[in-house]
Amino acid sequence: MWSGYVKNLRKDGGFYWVYAQVSSLLDKNENLIGYKSLRAPVESTKRHELEVNYTRLKEMEENVIKLSEWIDCETFRQLETLSHQQNRSISKILKEMVD
């Protein structure tokens, strides 16, 4: 079973958050035949926290894409290691290098 918060797309193009629990469905021979999902609404305070974190992750993803256009893999791995060691974002490290 997997459980976690999910950002879903609505038909009108908007989004909504749910807490989902996903389980596999097995037949009598233990073969996977599908999945079932139970979902619950998310409280507004948790929804705000999720949106803040989601926005931060999307920004990080965009930075990685931008970096990949002009930096080689080994240099990126070194920056990633430095980022973890110093508990700072890669973009902050690069900004300091440029300044």
Q: What angle do CA 83, 47, 35 make, to 5 degrees?
A: 90
Task: State residue 4's pLDDT score.
Answer: 95
Q: Are 57 and 63 in contact (CB under 8 A)?
A: no
CB contact set of 55 (below 8 Å; sequence gap of 6+): none
Of 90, 5, 99, give the one whose Cα is nearest residue 52: 5
Task: State residue 99's pLDDT score.
Answer: 63
Task: State residue 57's pLDDT score.
Answer: 86
Q: What is the mean pLDDT of each run of 10 residues along the chain (99 residues)?
A: 94 95 96 96 95 88 74 82 87 74
Kindly state the tokens that stand for 52. Answer: 């803040």
